[in-house]
């Protein structure tokens, strides 16, 4: 059975030492009680729940999957009890609004817990994860009456939430949505249509399910400009705001999937179900993006979470498994063979995984801090700056984290050799579970297009300019740091390459839009590598200052992993640049009939 131990020390390193996040957050209105001790206590208690009660259900949940019987969906054995422990512990309400029963803690804390929960059990994490996204959308766009009726029990976890976008003919292109919304004359609407791929659309964990549904009003304009957002409960509420009679919402079937089998993925039918408008008419897609962007960040965290648990299991195996002899001589003369760790290629796979994980963790926490700043900072200019940075890196986190998550779970499976392919060791499940993150909540190619077609051009290029300036400022601040010079030079060269390539791409895309599409995926990866290199140089600088203290081994390993990233992984940017500059003709000159 796979193992998992929450990386609390590494999270503390990033949160407390690298970013001084406890000080930053405690200075924001409403977060004054966010002390270092409180954050550590939350992380430690969360780790206990995730390690002891939720992680042991991961393999069994995958083997059992969800069951469908005449419209009723049953989650795997143990999920109900674990979900009850999760809700009773208050984990659903951590960062929610205190006005509706939330604890009002920073989003940054929820991000760190999200990583641990996805490492423990991705399928389980999706149920509360979608609810958090629905809470965000309702909080941001619903009227006060809807908030008062629905948010308290969603925040408590008694009710769950879903996101109902996709239809059989409308995947990425939501302009093709056909679900209808007819006014009922009492301020509500009758919702009719079918949605597919609905995570948690039906389950036996909560007493009510609150669906957020995209649909069209009778006089709506065509395309995405004619989509509205509706709140549609599974069961209508009575005068006491308790679930009562069914609401014309039913599950037609569940999907049988490659991975995340403990999560119910449903076909949902809405048959004149009563719904309530959220936000303005025909502005539903903009409202839903509040939830979608939150979910895209959460999906990126899944890649990090799976990369972490895969690394832990592969490293443990490599330390113990005896196979072959070291090329430089016998390392374990008292054994018939040496441990796998003597082989450079094994170390390559493990260090690749660890370097991505630790760099991604730093970028995730930095992003979460900026989310909190964008919501709470008293200076509107600072809020706008933080909002720009979050908007810029959201597609990068979703796409790159999930791409590298699949790559590294596969590398870690490879470390185990034949055992990695066998179900009982658990590695093949990590690979299967990781694969979906590249697809759902906007396939990664769409994320790359969002970066190159929208984020690079928004506000006259202000978004990337802000990030590039932050990195340049850091380089300037550290120029007298002699110990850091090799890494500063690498980062400076990488930033220069990214800036020049960004300018070239913007100019080329202005005359030939296919250039942007052809470059998008490679550009996003290059962008991610440079941004994570910035994280790593900061971590290296910190480890250099601390390496002679009580935790010398911890900081020494941080230096070694940082050196590996900068020397072995960052150089990918050069081949990516060559691929990007090769242009779109290599793809678009091919005749359609030849495919």
**SS3 of residue 279 by DSSP:** coil
Token pair belonging to 142: 């619903």
Determine the Cα–Cα distance for residues 11 and 135; give it in Å rounded to an integer. 26
Contact 588, 595 (CB under 8 A): no
Residue spans of alpha helices (H) in 143-283 = 144-156
Determine the Cα–Cα distance for residues 566 and 351; give it in Å rounded to an integer. 12
345 burial (CB, 10 Å; 0-12 / 13-18 / 19+) is exposed
For the annotated catalytic residues, the residue numbers are 441
Contact 111, 369 (CB under 8 A): no
Determine the Cα–Cα distance for residues 442 and 164; give it in Å rounded to an integer. 13
Token pair belonging to 241: 């705001």
Host H or E run for residue 523: helix 513-546
Determine the Cα–Cα distance for residues 260 and 58; give it in Å rounded to an integer. 9
Backbone angles phi, psi at 380, to 5 degrees: -60, -35
Q: Which residue has the tokens 């941004």?
A: 531
28 burial (CB, 10 Å; 0-12 / 13-18 / 19+) is middle
What 499-504 contacts at long range (C-beta under 8 Å, 24+ apart), as own/partner pairs, is: 499/468, 501/526, 501/577, 501/580, 501/581, 502/456, 502/464, 504/581
**What is the DSSP secondary structure assignment for residue 222, as one 8-state letter?**
S
> Cα separations (Å) of 288 from 62, 403, 440, 448?
30, 24, 15, 20
Token pair belonging to 27: 């200075």
């Amino acid at each position: 059975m796979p193992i998992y131990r929450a990386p609390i020390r590494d999270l503390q390193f990033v949160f407390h030492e690298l970013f001084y996040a406890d000080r930053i957050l405690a200075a924001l209105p409403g977060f004054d009680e966010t002390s270092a001790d409180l954050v550590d206590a939350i992380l430690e208690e969360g780790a206990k729940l995730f390690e002891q009660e939720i992680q042991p259900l991961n393999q069994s949940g995958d083997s059992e999957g969800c069951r469908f019987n005449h419209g009723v969906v049953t989650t795997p054995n143990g999920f109900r009890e674990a979900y009850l422990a999760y809700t009773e512990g208050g984990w659903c309400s951590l960062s929610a609004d205190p006005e509706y029963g939330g604890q009002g803690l920073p989003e940054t804390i929820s991000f760190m817990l999200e990583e641990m929960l996805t490492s423990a059990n991705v399928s389980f994490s999706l149920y509360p994860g979608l609810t958090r996204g629905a809470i965000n959308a309702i909080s941001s766009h619903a009227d006060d009456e809807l908030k008062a009726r629905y948010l308290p029990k969603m925040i408590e976890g008694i009710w769950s939430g879903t996101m109902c976008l996709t239809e059989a003919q409308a995947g990425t292109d939501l302009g093709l949505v056909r679900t209808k919304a007819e006014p009922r004359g009492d301020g509500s609407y009758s919702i009719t249509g079918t949605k597919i791929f609905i995570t948690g659309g039906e389950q036996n964990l909560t007493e009510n399910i609150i669906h957020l549904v995209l649909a069209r009003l009778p006089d709506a304009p065509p395309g995405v400009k004619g989509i509205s957002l509706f709140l549609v409960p599974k069961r209508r509420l009575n005068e006491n705001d308790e679930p009562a009679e069914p609401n014309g919402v039913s599950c037609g079937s569940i999907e049988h999937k490659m991975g995340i089998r403990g999560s119910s993925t449903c076909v949902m039918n809405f048959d004149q179900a009563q719904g309530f408008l959220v936000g303005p008419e025909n502005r539903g897609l903009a409202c839903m993006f509040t939830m979608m962007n939150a979910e895209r960040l959460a999906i990126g965290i899944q890649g990090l979470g799976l990369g972490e648990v895969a690394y832990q299991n592969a490293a443990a195996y490599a330390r113990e498994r005896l196979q072959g002899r070291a090329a430089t001589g016998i390392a374990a003369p008292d054994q018939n063979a040496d441990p796998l760790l003597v082989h450079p290629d094994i170390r390559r796979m493990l260090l690749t995984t660890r370097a991505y994980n630790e760099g991604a963790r730093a970028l995730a926490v930095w992003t979460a801090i900026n989310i909190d700043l964008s919501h709470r900072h008293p200076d509107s200019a600072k809020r706008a700056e933080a909002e720009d940075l979050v908007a810029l890196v959201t597609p990068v986190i979703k796409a790159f984290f999930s791409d590298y998550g699949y790559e590294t779970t596969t590398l870690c499976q490879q470390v185990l050799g034949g055992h990695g392919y066998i179900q009982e060791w658990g590695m093949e499940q990590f690979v299967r579970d990781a694969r979906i993150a590249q697809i759902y909540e906007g396939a990664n190619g769409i994320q790359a297009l969002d970066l190159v077609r929208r984020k690079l051009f928004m506000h006259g290029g202000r978004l990337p300019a802000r990030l590039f300036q932050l990195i340049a400022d850091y380089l300037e601040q550290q120029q007298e740091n002699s110990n850091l010079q090799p890494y500063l030079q690498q980062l400076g060269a990488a930033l220069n390459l990214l800036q020049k390539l960004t300018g070239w791409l913007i100019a080329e895309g202005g005359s030939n839009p296919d250039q942007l599409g052809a470059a998008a995926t490679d550009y996003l990866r290059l962008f991610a590598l440079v941004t994570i290199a910035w994280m790593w140089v900061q971590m290296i600088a910190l480890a250099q200052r601390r390496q002679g203290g009580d935790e010398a081994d911890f900081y020494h390993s941080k230096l070694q992993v940082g050196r590996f990233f900068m020397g072995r992984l960052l150089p990918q940017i050069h081949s990516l640049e060559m691929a990007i500059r090769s242009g779109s003709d290599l793809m678009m000159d091919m005749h359609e009939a030849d495919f």
